[in-house]
Structure 1
Amino acid sequence: MAISSAFHADNVETPMLVNTVDGAVDYRGRPASRFDSGGWRSAAYIIGVEVAERSAYGGIVSNLVTFLTGPLGQSTATAAANVNFWDGTASLLPLLGAFVADSFLGRYRTITLASFLYILGLGLLTLSAILPSLIGFECQSHKLIPCYSPQLQVLLFFFSLYVVAVAQGGHKPCTQAFGADQFDGQDQEECKAKSSFFNWWYFSLCAGSSVTASILNYIQDNLSWALGFGIPCMLMVIALTVFLLGTSTYRYSIPQNGKGPFMRIGSVFVAAFRNWQRSTPTTTPTELEFQGFLPHQKSQQFKFLDKALLAPNHLNGDGSVCTIAEVEEAKAVLRLFPIWGTCLIYAIVFSQSSTFFTKQGVTMERTIYGRFKIPAASLQSFIDIGILITILIYDRIFVPLTRSYTRNPSGITMLQRIGTGIFISVFSMIVSAVVEMRRLRTAQVYDLVDKPSETIPMSVWWLVPQYLLFGIADVFTMVGLQEFFYDQVPTELRSIGLALYLSVFGVGSFISSFLVSAIERATGGVGRDSWFSNNLNRAHLDYFYLLLAGLSLGGFAAYFHFARSYIYNRRGTL
């Protein structure tokens, strides 16, 4: 198959032609044409695939807490912890998927394989939803007793859920990296288009997933959970078909040298460790400039890695084990981790919208016409609405205005953008706490504290501001993190870079799950209602939100400290 050469071209040398893109080939392994491959045409196929995938994923995660507390009968705290743990696992698995893509299969094949696995997982998830009725029918026909074992449904449901998590781990980091690969960062016009790509990528995802998630939430709450899980399965079949249709238009990146990226970076750390007792070598600025790095990067950060430039003691000669470019490549990856760590608090805040926000909405007045009640989970669409409006303003008004002042093609730097979103998230938690205080007071006024099944006469629209603030913060932090982790890693590790961005939210979900469990144990017990009591009218989610606001403020201070000292890699050198 001709396309195979595009994935295993370790030793391919692409000639620099006027109308070709350096470091990229087409589906037949030939130098990629600048005019006949890549660009917005190819990106449109990939964006379409991701819209379908995010719609499928969002249709599950947005209402998952309702399924767990409803058909599966779990408590609120247990369900929230399970959702956070699963979502965290799904956000960490992209590290494995990106490793497989960048080291073995390539992004195209990884996306294809992950899509098939996705379809399998969603199909089994649909089966788990209809299992009780299937078993009940068989039992009735054959007079079997007992007729139904709920443990079987639980096992199949969670198995299917984690198959979806594995599939998402291979799909998500590769699609966005593959989409950005369709633009040449060395070309001035395509470089601007690549920056806009991250904005419009997120815009398209939110526009598509907000509509489908709302529809799926209504189907799940009012019609059938089986249908609510089956539609995402069909969406993924369509997504795979669309992706394969664009095969002949894509640009495929090829390795820049024979040594794999993980081997290169790993060898730097191994060599530096072997030479840890020796003095750090000095290197002239001319050498660094020749390699394409800023001269002061080497002299000011992670000097211990410079020892990888020395030959081991048992070897003769002055030859170095690693090149300067390889050392600077390792430093570039290491420089990401302080930023990664200080964004974890934002990820903890982010995870609340699909758990406790939804449970609050269930207790409030949701009737909008006659007897029609909107699903509580559908309010998450206001996050998408906030994102859509903010992206339009940001990309069409804010960036051009600030670009003329800062001379930065993106208007503001990636780290400034991320920090702005983290700061906004502090206010989102404060607003959430204030709204929850009002909800609790309303329950007291109407003597509904011990009547959790009764609807509190407070409109669910009170929750809209906190959802909108989440959306605004996402445009700054989420999109900023995507561009940052794609741009600041070696070219061959861009799937890993985006997987690192996703892992922020994976680890954040795990921390959120641990935090909820710890607070549940500390504040609950015999005769006491915890902050997360099943009776939300006796719970104290407002305390939890205020705690997160304080943690977010501390996280922002730490982020600001590390962002100020961060040294950007020169665009296009890695």
Structure 2
Amino acid sequence: MIIITAILQMLRNGFVLSKTVIFIWGLVLSHALVSNGVVDVFADFLGDEKYNLWKAIMVKSFLEGLSAVLKVAVIHVSEAYIGRFKAIIFCTGSFTMGLVLLWIRASHLDIVTLIFAIVLIALGTAGKEPTLRDFFDYQLREKVKKNCTEKNEGEDKEPSQEKERSGKNDSAATNLWWSTASIIGSVIASFFLSSDHWGENFEISSIVMGATCLLFIIGIFCYYPEEKPSESPLTIPYRVFKAAIKNRRLSYPSSKQDYNNEDSDDASSEDFFYRTENGEVHLLPRHPSFSLFLDRAAMMNNSDDEEKVRKEEVCTVVQVRDVKNFCLIIPLVVTLFSYNLVSTSGNTYFVLQASTLSSYNIGAFDVSIMALFAIKSLITFVVRTIQSRYKVVRPLWSIAVGMFFSVLCCIAAWQVERRRLYLKKPDDDIPMSIMILTPQYFLLGLMEGFAEGGLKNFLSDRLYSESMKNFVEPYIEMLLGIGKFSSILFALVFYKWIKDEINHSRLDNYFLVLASLSFVYLGIYIFYAKFKFQRRRVAVPAETIQETIERMDELLQVEVDINQ
């Protein structure tokens, strides 16, 4: 019922038809097609090229990690220098060039060409979210505002009502069109792209990507003009750290008025963001402890404070709080070490498992590994949509639920690998259907939906500025992407179980160790979340809030009595 309600609400609020949709939606569709048909199952191509298991793991892990890191770089360049439109064209062109390179050299691909193509593809995937999504959202938001203005023309309605309605509908419209493109792209890839003909896959993907990129460029005559690039989200942390280091010798003030409260809208709520200890006023959050020195970035203790504020040498308390909250999530990501290993396994070991299994026929349709990735993406989308809209599980515990599903996913993979090795014949032919991997990918979708969605909601709820909120997802993906490089080192530790070919390896032992490690890290995370976060939530005691409410009620009653 919750799923149906969410879908109906999205359809009701999100159906916005515009000429810009035609030009942008095609590019979103091609990204979904290529991601599902090429990028996600790239390890299968490496297996077909007779690369050993080690190279397949290293190349695929490198592709995922590099894409996550480049995503932050693309955001910085687009927001601070060239704008989203030019960044999208550059990234899409790089994506197309990488696919063309693989298409031309597919039959005799050397390692240098492969690495160059991977860098181009990683840059292309980095430009999809949030750059392309933000551009799509901006265009639909402007369209909704225009529709509201035309509809309300001549009516007696306040501009605030128009703004409220447009703000409510624009994100729903983006989610609707974006989700539709992702689903259709995954279905097309499952039906028309085959892991047995990689040359054709690269050819189709490069043509589709190039054509939709050209269509996107043609749409420039219909797009609403973008605002000029102003400031990248990366600039704020740089300024905060720079100001904190410069003011490192300042002592903590005894009053909150000694901080730069320029961006604080509600002065009455400022007390909830400060904490006084031993006569010193600190900014919240106060943990982790290494971020305490960032408070000095907002201190105003000198006579030339106004000049420093004008030159942006003194940051606001809002900026400092946001940066401290970004630092807050780093220890959480460290506890997700095993989660990164499981997530990488889904794009490497699980894909190589599928390459040794027989396909499953549904009528004239052969179920391939691409269909399983489509199932995983659908499960992830449903979970994250429900969580972001209804908050069925609190963000901190949503991460724990995702880590629990990672344990179950490893156990399922362990059982499948044991069965696969048991049925292996001397000619390496294994009489097992690829559908036996469905539970693994189903659990993988639940794992990513709960864990990454929980991380995003946890950090978004603690941020104040909109520019930093838009940076949440790329920031999390960057941290997780860096962690995925660890899968290469982890495979080196258990080199005795990982041979040149998957049928000669003991991945069942690897998955069992990974399940045990995931269970241990789940315990570490629960301990950390319970004693480091929930205990700190009492920074604003319930008694204080209740006393404030009661005081406001008393004042209102006094005012009513006076008026009477």
Q: CA deviation at 1:252?
A: 2.8
Aligned twin of 1:83: 60
Change in CA separation of 1:262 and 1:420 when aligned onto 2, cut-off 3 Å: closer
The answer as to 2:83 corresponding to 1:111 is no
Q: Which amino acid aligns with 2:30?
A: A
Aligned twin of 1:550: 519
Give a deviation string over 1:477-510, Cα, whole Å, max 9, x none. 4456567777847444566444313313421321
Change in CA separation of 1:215 and 1:332 when aligned onto 2, cut-off 3 Å: same
Q: CA deviation at 1:544?
A: 3.9
Q: CA deviation at 1:207?
A: 0.6
Partners in 1 of 2:320 and 2:36 — Cα distance?
35
Change in CA separation of 1:325 and 1:360 when aligned onto 2, cut-off 3 Å: same
Aligned twin of 1:304: 293
The answer as to 2:185 corresponding to 1:243 is no
Identity %: 20
Please state whether the residue corresponding to 1:129 is helix, strand or coil: coil
Give a deviation string over 1:430-480, Cα, whole Å, max 9, x none. 244245325414643x5x3x737121x443322212212222344444456
Q: Quick check: 1:95–1:500 contact (8 Å CA) kept in 2?
A: yes
Q: Quick check: 1:481–1:501 contact (8 Å CA) kept in 2?
A: yes
Count of equivalent residues: 477
The answer as to 2:161 corresponding to 1:204 is no
The answer as to 2:466 corresponding to 1:466 is no
Q: Quick check: 1:421–1:475 contact (8 Å CA) kept in 2?
A: no
Q: Quick check: 1:51–1:205 contact (8 Å CA) kept in 2?
A: yes
After superposition, where does 1:65-76 map in structure 2 within 5 Å?
65-71=43-49, 73-76=50-53
Q: CA deviation at 1:174?
A: 0.9
Q: Which amino acid aligns with 2:435?
A: W
Aligned twin of 2:36: 58
After superposition, where does 1:317-396 map in structure 2 within 5 Å?
317-319=304-306, 321-322=308-309, 326-343=316-333, 344-345=336-337, 346-368=339-361, 374-387=367-380, 390=383
The answer as to 2:49 corresponding to 1:49 is no
Aligned twin of 2:553: none
Change in CA separation of 1:308 and 1:43 when aligned onto 2, cut-off 3 Å: farther
Q: Quick check: 1:111–1:171 contact (8 Å CA) kept in 2?
A: yes
Q: CA deviation at 1:352?
A: 1.9
Change in CA separation of 1:209 and 1:279 when aligned onto 2, cut-off 3 Å: same
Change in CA separation of 1:546 and 1:268 when aligned onto 2, cut-off 3 Å: closer
Q: Which amino acid aligns with 2:217?
A: L
Q: CA deviation at 1:349?
A: 2.5
Please state whether the residue corresponding to 2:321 is helix, strand or coil: helix
Q: Which amino acid aligns with 2:89?
A: T
Please state whether the residue corresponding to 2:256 is helix, strand or coil: coil
Q: Which one of the candidate residues 235, 249, 252 is aligned to 1:280?
A: 252
Give a deviation string over 1:255-311, Cα, whole Å, max 9, x none. 67xx77655543332222122122123324998486236513243335533323446
Please state whether the residue corresponding to 2:503 is helix, strand or coil: coil
Unaligned runs of 5+ residues in structure 1 are 1-37, 133-151, 400-409, 569-574
Please state whether the residue corresponding to 2:81 is helix, strand or coil: helix
Q: Which amino acid aligns with 1:58?
A: N
Please state whether the residue corresponding to 1:535 is helix, strand or coil: helix
Unaligned runs of 5+ residues in structure 2 are 1-14, 146-159, 275-282, 287-291, 541-564
Partners in 2 of 1:269 and 1:157 — Cα distance?
39
Q: Quick check: 1:101–1:107 contact (8 Å CA) kept in 2?
A: yes
Q: Which one of the candidate residues 397, 403, 412 is aligned to 2:391?
A: 412
Aligned twin of 2:562: none
Q: Quick check: 1:117–1:167 contact (8 Å CA) kept in 2?
A: yes
Change in CA separation of 1:183 and 1:485 when aligned onto 2, cut-off 3 Å: farther
Aligned twin of 1:501: 476
Partners in 2 of 1:191 and 1:418 — Cα distance?
28
Aligned twin of 1:146: none
Change in CA separation of 1:77 and 1:329 when aligned onto 2, cut-off 3 Å: same
After superposition, where does 1:177-196 map in structure 2 within 5 Å?
177-181=134-138, 182-183=140-141, 187-193=163-169, 196=172
Please state whether the residue corresponding to 1:368 is helix, strand or coil: strand
Q: Quick check: 2:404–2:522 contact (8 Å CA) kept in 1?
A: yes
Change in CA separation of 1:177 and 1:442 when aligned onto 2, cut-off 3 Å: closer
After superposition, where does 1:143-182 map in structure 2 within 5 Å?
153-181=110-138, 182=140
Q: Quick check: 2:401–2:451 contact (8 Å CA) kept in 1?
A: no
Partners in 2 of 1:519 and 1:202 — Cα distance?
40
Deviates more, 1:376-385 or 1:97-106: 376-385
Q: Which amino acid aligns with 1:79?
A: A
Deviates more, 1:548-557 or 1:226-235: 548-557
Change in CA separation of 1:309 and 1:424 when aligned onto 2, cut-off 3 Å: closer
Partners in 2 of 1:286 and 1:90 — Cα distance?
39
The answer as to 2:240 corresponding to 1:268 is yes
Aligned twin of 1:127: 104
Q: Quick check: 1:112–1:240 contact (8 Å CA) kept in 2?
A: yes
Q: Quick check: 2:398–2:454 contact (8 Å CA) kept in 1?
A: no
Partners in 2 of 1:489 and 1:121 — Cα distance?
39
Q: CA deviation at 1:110?
A: 0.9
Q: Which amino acid aligns with 1:348?
A: L
Q: CA deviation at 1:422?
A: 4.8
Q: Quick check: 2:420–2:432 contact (8 Å CA) kept in 1?
A: yes
Partners in 1 of 2:188 and 2:396 — Cα distance?
28
Change in CA separation of 1:242 and 1:492 when aligned onto 2, cut-off 3 Å: farther
Partners in 1 of 2:383 and 2:240 — Cα distance?
42
Q: Quick check: 1:428–1:466 contact (8 Å CA) kept in 2?
A: no
